[in-house]
Structure 1
């Protein structure tokens, strides 16, 4: 195209990012309600930003532990392997585990997938995970069941990688090699919310939106129009609200009524918050939006539902990806998110739970102290046994002894 432009003496027009996305309908591109919806413009909607942040924080905030399953069926923390520090401390030279997981989850939530390049050491173990920005990598079929990932940055091509050389976290998928673009699927809800916010901003900024029309017969000269505008400016304002107008020259005052769209603007914005939350699977209360039916007592149930229905699928996706592609796959190593702080109740409820579990012998004192983040105490590994409880075998033996004595 540039060659023909130079040949014909034309100057090539430089398109903006939104214009390119509108033409090729690329990463989340599309026009809804007169606005271009991409992953970058979608983040300008506070509800989209909050949904992405809530899910990303829910995958980055919990402590990520690496466990080793022992031969007796119990488990222990595998803190003596390089993968533990890689996943729970520092996956690359620039980011902590929190920052890397948060960014990768945000990429997956917003664009459908997040990708990082594996950097291996001399022993073929992963030493670093280098994230790649969305829109700067793609995947293509080399053969029917063979894939190749191509990554680039502002300096050019980074390289082409096989599936074993990248770490990929996917959102919703329709095809096993590709992901569904969340912004593209939710473009109607996001676009209407973006258009509504822009309409509200222009309504407050546009001085031409008046409260009525002052009409006179005949044609006004520019000087007369300026004098009339100055006179109306003196009569209007908060201090002169409601003052009657004295009109001459058969002048008429026509008040402007609020349209139905303007009157229902708040309801439209509330509906769009709920629609966007529905698209991302986030409860509205988690983004700071609650209706009259939400109470303080029901908020705890919403928080529990958020962990179960919103974060749990993402935690499973993270765990299975890390177990199969960063650890030993079917071996004894596995990862787990520590979400106990999300399920913690009030102090009273926790005290009742601790007393019941310890007195029933279902939990040792040190096990509960570990849940609370406390250090173990000597003698706290013993399980209590209620005096009025015994197993069926012991009860049968005692009855036989009683019968023999009789």
Structure 2
């Protein structure tokens, strides 16, 4: 223990943190960022976002989760209704705090969850325990410890100005993903850093090639006896006028007998492109996002496109939605409220962009007695018609004896 303290003290001195109060959290965050890979590239959560496949996957998950409305419901016997009169409902569906919308809150928290394995927000409560607002906390500002006797989580907040304080468990909204340690989530980016690092290395290599003229377009063969100043002028001419932005210009060869042999696209070039495509598939495996959402369409057909969309909802989004609702249940509801209240997302919002499918679903739901015409009109922000439009309709062959359509 003494050796660890000395090492930490040394690191604090060389990093200039020894005079700043509460800066241990910054040091720990810095050490966590040392994610070396076999490709020789350090892949931190932030650096991984520079890789288009990772950025696309994080956006696909976090923005999809954020766009699905989340509401608070109350159980009433076998029935349920939306708890519009509960103070937590507007916090979940509109404004978690005065300067952050519900969409921004869920999108940012979900993105941090994917990148870091967990995300945190501070819960401000009234004296009676009622939640007043939920404020997202900066990434890497919260350190989670486990109490040795109770195994409960303990939270330490370290802000950039040196402020440090301990937070009670009731003050923290802790969105934690898959974890192999108690009370701590596993960063999927860190776990898959070698595959992501290779993808970044391939991207950088391709960029360097493009900066130098995309690729050697051919081979210049100089005649015998060309050397000295003539050879140097030939090299300089090729470098200045046929690389980078000047690539593709007219080639002028100096000296009798000089020739130019163009190079064609070869198997090595094809294999390099295949490796780049394969690394996109690796990101798809790590974050469980269909390749079609990462704009890799080589294996997408008309037959499987709809199936891939359903898989994204059932295998990718639903686990995140379940994590959100259970975290709301644990951290934002009191022990008494948990008996009657629960949060739920409306996944039908994923179909809002497809008018044909949406109208077809309404027609079937109305005809099958699942919803009324006025409920369908409400989902389209249309005023209710009243009368028969507000009554459930059942198929004749499913109604009870003496009950007709609309009765």
Name the TM-score, length of structure 1 as normaliser. Answer: 0.79
SS at match of 1:32: coil
2:387 maps to 1:381: no
SS at match of 2:97: coil
Distance 1:310 1:14, change over 3 A: same
* Partner residue in 1 for 2:125: 120
Aligned residues: 374
Assess if the C-alpha contact under 8 Å between 1:104 and 1:114 holds in 2: yes
Task: Spell out, residue by residue over 1:180-201, the C-alpha distance to the aligned partner (whole angstroms, 9 max, x if none).
Answer: 1211111111101100010001
CA distance in structure 1 between the partners assigned to 2:95 and 2:398 by the alignment: 50
Assess if the C-alpha contact under 8 Å between 2:371 and 2:392 holds in 1: yes
* Partner residue in 1 for 2:209: 203
Once the two structures are superposed, the pairs formed by residues 137-286 of structure 1 within 5 Å of their partners are: 137-144=142-149, 145-206=151-212, 210=216, 211-212=218-219, 214=221, 220-221=227-228, 223-229=229-235, 238=248, 240=250, 261-286=268-293
User: 1:351 Cα deviation (Å)?
Assistant: 4.9
Distance 1:178 1:333, change over 3 A: same
* Partner residue in 2 for 1:287: 294
SS at match of 1:324: helix
Distance 1:233 1:61, change over 3 A: closer
User: 1:96 Cα deviation (Å)?
Assistant: 1.0
* Partner residue in 2 for 1:337: 345
Distance 1:151 1:388, change over 3 A: closer
SS at match of 2:163: strand
Assess if the C-alpha contact under 8 Å between 1:151 and 1:160 holds in 2: yes
CA distance in structure 1 between the partners assigned to 2:297 and 2:156 by the alignment: 44
CA distance in structure 2 between the partners assigned to 1:388 and 1:254 by the alignment: 80
Please identify, of 363-372 and 227-236, the stretch whose mean Cα deviation from structure 2 is larger. Answer: 227-236
2:81 maps to 1:76: yes
* Partner residue in 2 for 1:328: 334
2:42 maps to 1:57: no
Name the TM-score, length of structure 2 as normaliser. Answer: 0.79
Q: Which runs of 5+ in 1 are unaligned?
A: 5-10, 396-406
CA distance in structure 2 between the partners assigned to 1:319 and 1:215 by the alignment: 72
User: 1:341 Cα deviation (Å)?
Assistant: 2.5
User: 1:346 Cα deviation (Å)?
Assistant: 5.5
Distance 1:287 1:81, change over 3 A: same
User: 1:259 Cα deviation (Å)?
Assistant: 7.5
Task: Spell out, residue by residue over 1:21-75, the C-alpha distance to the aligned partner (whole angstroms, 9 max, x if none).
Answer: 9x986247123312111111101001101111111111111111111111x3212
* Partner residue in 1 for 2:137: 132
Assess if the C-alpha contact under 8 Å between 1:116 and 1:129 holds in 2: yes
Distance 1:273 1:390, change over 3 A: closer
User: 1:272 Cα deviation (Å)?
Assistant: 0.8
* Partner residue in 1 for 2:113: 108
Please identify, of 55-64 and 139-148, the stretch whose mean Cα deviation from structure 2 is larger. Answer: 139-148
Assess if the C-alpha contact under 8 Å between 1:361 and 1:384 holds in 2: yes
User: 1:239 Cα deviation (Å)?
Assistant: 5.7
